[in-house]
Amino acid sequence: MKQDDVRCRIRSRSSRLNMKQDDDRCQKRSRSSRLDMKQDDVRCRIRSRSSRLDMKEDDVRCRIRSRSSRLDMKQDDVRCRIRSRSSRLDMKQDDVRCRIKSRSSRLDMKQDDVRC
């Protein structure tokens, strides 16, 4: 009987130890899962920061494009003004040539008149 009693106590102690071990494992798992969750959270924050940075980069690129397009438009506007100025100068030259021809023809007529 005494031996049985001792065996029973040993079993019960052993089962308490096993339960404690299981409990420790469970706590370790739960701690590990909390750490995993924390890591995931950190990764998530990193991704979100990275995506915000990407968005910021895209925004900067967009601003650069828009600035570039504004500069292009400004250049086009300047070219247009140059063309228009050039065409005005051409017209002025044509007008001067026309006046010269007309004066020359008047002189020719005058000469003809003098000859007559």
Residue 109 tokens, joined: 């007529």
pLDDT digits (tens, 9 = 90+) for 28-47: 777 777 888 888 888 878 88
> What percent of the chain clears pLDDT 70, i.e. is strictly above it?
97
**Structure confidence at residue 42 (pLDDT):** 81
Q: What is the DSSP string of 31-48?
A: HHHHHHHHHHHHHHHHHH
* pLDDT for 6 beyond 70: no
pLDDT surpassing 80 at residue 75 = yes
> In this predicted structure, what is the pLDDT of residue 107?
76
- Digit-coded pLDDT (tens) for 13-27: 777 777 778 777 777
Per residue, the 3-state secondary structure of 48-96, as one string, reads HHHHHHHHHHHHHHHHHHHHHHHHHHHHHHHHHHHHHHHHHHHHHHHHH
